[in-house]
Chain A
Amino acid sequence: MIGLLMAAVRESIQTTKSVFSGAFRQSQIESTLFDRLVLYGCVGLTLFFVLFPFYWMVVTSIIPSTELYRLPPAVIPTEFTFDHFREIMDAQVPFYIYFFNSFVVAVISSAMAVGISIFGAYSFARLEYPGRAFMVRGVLLSYMIAGILMVVPIFQIVVWLGLVDTLTSVVLTHFIFTIPLGLYLLGNYFRSIPKEIEEAGLIDGYSRVEVLLRITIPMSVPAIVAVFLYSFLLSWNEYLYASIFLNTQELYTLPIGIEFLQFEFDDVWGEIMAASMLTTIPVVIMFLYLEKYMMAGLSFGSMD
């Protein structure tokens, strides 16, 4: 796990380095010191705004609560403790239960989204049938509707299906909300693959489904990974529906679990930040790991 993380970090540092050296190779000729200062200044400011909340999260999770309320606040902490982590793991419902629930929900719903999107998007991109244009637009339209508007109808459906207070209801809902973008992204990606490559497969003796599985999908790994990541993140962070459908504490997913911490602990910020840390880390690792697949396919060259 640590090795993987290190490798991923090293890789992204390498990417960052090459991007920067690329930017400056160009500016070596034309830029003045002032130009470079402005550029570095902007980059630094952006990084500060983006990263400071994360930094504060990390700090809060590893300092004693007493330190947290000191005035003026200590930007660089001097005392460290892992008590917050220990406490959330020793709680009445240990934190890893939420973690497990979220993981199950996110993996199943995004796997479903990817699987269905592949076939749906392929039909949008390549097959001719009546009503296709209507469906393509309809899918996008459904993506435009705000989630909160769908709470009541979806809740009614969940009640009707008898799925209230089950993880299945959350899986289905997350799946419903991720599939339009999956269809849209993959549809566009499939359209960008030259038709001739698939036709070559047909002529080489393979059926359409075989061509899809053996040629189109392997060529679309970047888009498929992107759809999976997007679905996973959406599901991992989704709060609204999970909070409405789930009542039993043992079934809570991470976002509700974190919220629930404040009912269990008094001086709650350290615990919440520790929980947030644990929620963030797997997503970061996964992103660092899968990122290279998203880039890998972009330099294909079968065609002139």
Chain B
Amino acid sequence: MSNKNTEYGVELRNVTKRFGDLTAVDDIDLAVRDGEFLVLLGPSGCGKTTTLRMIAGLEVPTDGTIEMHGSDVTEKLPQKRDLSMVFQNYALYPHKTVEDNLRFPLGKMDITEEEATEKVEYATELLGIEDLLDKKPGQLSGGQRQRVALGRTIVREPNLFLMDEPLSNLDAKLRVNTRSELKDLQQQLGTTTVYVTHDQEEAMSIADRIVIMDDGQIQQIGTPQEVYKNPANEFVASFLGEPGMNFVQTAASSNGSVHAQITEPVDLEVSVEGDVPHSKVGVRPQDVWVGPGNSPGAPRDNGYVEISKMRLETIDPLGHSYELRLERGDHSIIALSDDVPGQVGDEVDVAFNRSSIHVFGENTEALSVKP
């Protein structure tokens, strides 16, 4: 049975892609579940687009295999994979009208003219682009082009949608609206979707699971909550979240207890397995408490542990809160705070939320923390 039913719509095994000396994708394993919305997230050049293009069949892996529903498609041509793709620049056919753009993918299907018309009508209705049918791509706005590109993707009702940064050319507001529509659309159609983006907020809001990639390798796979709350390593921890996570060196310790060191070692009252001489502590800016220097101290009862006194260097109002930059010696910490604890130049107290402390070992891997 070549078409055995598996849980996974798409499976990549030991896939590597090299372009000359450059290794774009380095021995990755990835399984996309049927019907899920999977987002490949990472900085530019991390190999996410190459991975998507290999799934599409536009690139052939240097090594490894790709399976779809149990059958090997590693070297199958894109037109035989029953998938569709939205490109970053939409890649609409400029010489065809919107209607012909939508009809084009149907031309190779074994359906009658009436069925094709029905499908086009269904897609245009779903996306609300009925009034654009006679126009050419050059006459459309960015948002309209994006919709047409999406229409061309769904009209054929393939097994798999691939999307390569489909929202990156839209302006901020439209991007946010479109991404929730996109999510709705995917749930409505139930089609497995692999989506590439470098925008973590987009990934968080849209994904069932996120695959975080860096340097051609998969750093972590998990739900948005998992990768945010329990980053597998320093890269994931620093890549997710805005502003990024603070890192503080630890001091030598024993019995697995962790001491952060800004001036002198401070016992964070958390511990890890074994002794870790070269570890780092990570705390997100929203888990940093900042209080006036002569205050009664950090809200210990709320689970905070005081770290050090630091100088308040800058205060950036963000609207909903303030971004504070705190410094002491070479150390710098970013905190998000609802109110302003003092003026620029003031000495303030800085405390970390104990339950939100991450500890990373020698090889940047996350260590499990015991309070």
Same complex for A and B? Answer yes
- By a beta-carbon cutoff of 8 Å, the part of chain A in contact with chain B is 194, 196-197, 199-207, 215, 218-219, 297, 299-304
Contacts of B93 in A (CB 8 A): 197, 200-201, 215, 219, 302
Given A202-B77, A205-B79, A304-B90: A219 and B95 interface contact (C-beta under 8 Å): yes
Contacts of A201 in B (CB 8 A): 93, 104
Q: Which of chain B's residues has its CB closest to A207's CB?
A: B79
B90–A218 touching, CB < 8 Å: no
Q: How far is the CB of A222 from chain B (nearest CB, A)?
A: 11
Given A206-B108, A304-B169: A196 and B91 interface contact (C-beta under 8 Å): yes
Q: Which of B104-127 contact A (CB under 8 A)?
A: 104-105, 107-109
Instruction: Return the CB mask of B58-89 against A: 1 if under 8 Å, else 0.
Output: 10000000000000000001110001110111
Q: Which interface residue of B85, B94, B105, B142 has the most chain A CB atoms within 10 A?
A: B94
Q: How far is the CB of A163 from chain B (nearest CB, A)?
A: 40
Q: Could you show 15 A-B contacts with beta carbons less than 8 Å apart?
A: A200-B91, A202-B58, A203-B57, A204-B84, A204-B105, A204-B107, A205-B105, A206-B79, A300-B94, A300-B138, A301-B136, A302-B93, A302-B94, A303-B89, A304-B169
A301–B89 touching, CB < 8 Å: no
B56 part of interface (Cβ distance < 8 Å): yes
Q: Which of chain B's residues has its CB closest to A205's CB?
A: B108
Beyond A199-B87, A207-B79, A304-B89, list 14 extra A-B contacts (CB 8 Å).
A199-B85, A202-B79, A203-B57, A203-B79, A203-B83, A204-B79, A204-B107, A204-B108, A204-B152, A215-B95, A219-B95, A301-B94, A302-B137, A304-B169
Contacts of B17 in A (CB 8 A): none
Q: How far is the CB of B78 from chain A (nearest CB, A)?
A: 5
B138–A302 touching, CB < 8 Å: yes
- Give Cα distance in the complex from A200 to B94, angstroms: 12
- Give Cα distance in the complex from A15 to B53, angstroms: 44
B107–A205 touching, CB < 8 Å: yes
Q: Which interface residue of A202, A205, A297 has the most chain B CB atoms within 10 A?
A: A205
Contacts of B109 in A (CB 8 A): 205
B142–A200 touching, CB < 8 Å: no
B108–A196 touching, CB < 8 Å: no
- Give Cα distance in the complex from A196 to B145, angstroms: 15
A203–B92 touching, CB < 8 Å: no
Q: Which of chain A's residues has its CB closest to B87's CB?
A: A196
Q: Which of B77, B79, B91 contacts A197 (CB 8 A)?
A: B91
Query: Which 4 A-B residue pairs are closest in the complex by CB-CB distance?
Result: A301-B138, A205-B108, A302-B94, A196-B91
Q: Which of B26-73 contact A (CB under 8 A)?
A: 56-58
Q: Which of chain B's residues has its CB closest to A211's CB?
A: B79
Give the total of B residues in contact with A, Cβ under 8 Å: 32
Q: Which of chain A's residues has its CB closest to B109's CB?
A: A205
Q: Which of chain B's residues has its CB closest to A302's CB?
A: B94
Q: How far is the CB of B206 from chain A (nearest CB, A)?
A: 21
Q: How far is the CB of A114 from chain B (nearest CB, A)?
A: 18
- Give Cα distance in the complex from A200 to B145, angstroms: 14
B95–A303 touching, CB < 8 Å: no
Chain A interface, DSSP helix/strand/loop, else mixed: helix
Contacts of A207 in B (CB 8 A): 77, 79
B95–A199 touching, CB < 8 Å: no
Q: Which of B56, B90, B137 contacts A203 (CB 8 A)?
A: B56
Q: Which of chain B's residues has its CB closest to A300's CB?
A: B94
Contacts of A301 in B (CB 8 A): 94, 136-139
Q: How far is the CB of B160 from chain A (nearest CB, A)?
A: 11
B104–A218 touching, CB < 8 Å: no
Given A301-B138, A304-B142: A199 and B90 interface contact (C-beta under 8 Å): no
Q: Which interface residue of A199, A202, A300, A302 has the most chain B CB atoms within 10 A?
A: A302
- Give Cα distance in the complex from A197 to B85, angstroms: 11
Q: Which of chain B's residues has its CB closest to A200's CB?
A: B91
Q: How far is the CB of B168 from chain A (nearest CB, A)?
A: 9
- Give Cα distance in the complex from A300 to B85, angstroms: 22
Q: How far is the CB of A197 from chain B (nearest CB, A)?
A: 5
B58–A302 touching, CB < 8 Å: no
- Give Cα distance in the complex from A300 to B90, angstroms: 14
- Give Cα distance in the complex from A196 to B94, angstroms: 12
B78–A302 touching, CB < 8 Å: no
- Give Cα distance in the complex from A300 to B79, angstroms: 26
A299–B91 touching, CB < 8 Å: no
A199–B138 touching, CB < 8 Å: no
- Give Cα distance in the complex from A302 to B98, angstroms: 11
Q: Which of B56, B84, B91, B108 contacts A303 (CB 8 A)?
A: B91
Q: How far is the CB of B101 from chain A (nearest CB, A)?
A: 9
Q: How far is the CB of A277 from chain B (nearest CB, A)?
A: 38
Contacts of B105 in A (CB 8 A): 204-205
Q: Which of chain B's residues has its CB closest to A303's CB?
A: B89
A202–B137 touching, CB < 8 Å: no
Contacts of B139 in A (CB 8 A): 301
- Give Cα distance in the complex from A196 to B58, angstroms: 10
B91–A302 touching, CB < 8 Å: yes
Q: How far is the CB of A165 from chain B (nearest CB, A)?
A: 45
Instruction: Return the CB mask of B126-145 against A: 1 if under 8 Å, else 0.
Output: 00000000001111001001
B95–A218 touching, CB < 8 Å: yes
Contacts of A219 in B (CB 8 A): 93-95
Instruction: Return the CB mask of B153-164 against A: 1 if under 8 Å, else 0.
Output: 000100000000
Q: Which of chain B's residues has its CB closest to A304's CB?
A: B169
Contacts of B79 in A (CB 8 A): 202-207
Q: Which of chain A's residues has its CB closest to B92's CB?
A: A302
A303–B83 touching, CB < 8 Å: no
- Give Cα distance in the complex from A52 to B58, angstroms: 57
